[in-house]
Structure 1
């Protein structure tokens, strides 16, 4: 958007200029950041122990962040991250460089208070830039929307929730299933009635079709027989020509089959023995059944 392309470079100008000045002459920036640095060293680990002990080193790091973050913000590259980084660089400079409450001179105090409020205004602008999504939904909104969709989907799939107190039989899903089953039942009855009404008509059509097919078969029978006789002679000639080739192939195949038969002979013999034993057991059962049936038949006859 055009407004962002204009506003972001304007917001970053102050930080880029301040960072360049601090790198050229780090002593004033170090003096301004020293009170804030001493206060931050009192923070618990790992923040307090990882801060540099030299105020000038801290001022140079702060200046580098201001220049880098200002350039990223001015060019629109990672503007939210750059704005957040610049916001953190405002705090040491404002607290240490513009402590107007310690000034005794009224004019000096007014100047420091004005500079302090200017830095607070810049901090507010950076916070707004850090949360600017350029019209896109934020991560929090997306998370809440996704959670709401999941909740609605679960509620729709499991309508018998404990909170609603409704039963599955009263749910919309159950109503839809019941309606579908009722419609299927009605459709089945309708199709059965149609089948009963059209059964004689279909049977008559089948008889007429069978008669027509039989007549066609009688008419085309001689033609098919003549074609078969002509084709038989041709097939016989081909068979005579290819007989030696087929015989050689059969001999080669016979050797292969013989080897396979020899290899599987014990397995086949064992299978045959099992089948024979099963047949003997089955024969005994059949014989007993036959005797029983014969006795019953004799009793009925007598």
Structure 2
């Protein structure tokens, strides 16, 4: 069976028309039509019902579609693995980082690679977890580090190691709440000030509501929201806004005394669970091992609580 014919069939199925599929494949429509006809002859039946300008998969086409995807992916992994062996070295890495991981890892990772592996190509993208998951599955990213509570478990994903990251409330030094409530800030008092946070998972929302009541629902409580924690922390330093999120992201500012963790009553004893996410069964570049070791050192220097999940 000709692998190229399967690739053409997948493109046609994805694009929905011969013209768009041919454009994507950089071939003529007649060449694409001949390729599909050859595949149909080899399989012994029509794969498509051509209804006017529409193309609908036949039952045979539906059956072939999923198997073809697997075959094409396996072939791509064979080529990828062979190329890695032939190239030697560490390869390259296209990395996607969520908001928390981006604040903790992005600059240190780039500095580390520039210092220790200057010849390795590394790219880092930021964005919503849902978008980055699509990019991972499309193979435009090699790995993610995100809050795994925002991911629906799936057979095609490999997750691990993971790291528990405590969360809390942080304000600027000299914030009125610090003097007003020296022995602990009631949660209700926080709501008199803007609350700044990244988008939070539904699980975190449930935890907050269970802990503090309905007014803790992030959809209602959060007044300042963006994906960049650095921007949130700068806002908190320059205003009376309160940051809600991973405490490690504010470590430097707190060590300098610019920001202070609020002692909230009752205490928030939950946080994010950050994890490395890759495609299950995909051949990894050698640099991926370097990255995993780096993440362990950065997020869990004691190396005693991280765990693998698959």
> Which TM-score bucket, shorter chain as reference?
under 0.3
Work out which of the two has the higher radius of gyration on C-alpha atoms and give 1 or 2: 1
Alignment TM-score, normalising by the size of structure 2: 0.18
Superposition TM-score, scaled by structure 1 size: 0.19
Structure (1/2) with the larger strand percentage: 2
Which has more helix, going by share of residues?
1
Q: Flag the structure with more relative contact order, 1 or 2, with Cα contacts below 8 A and sequence separation at least 6.
A: 2
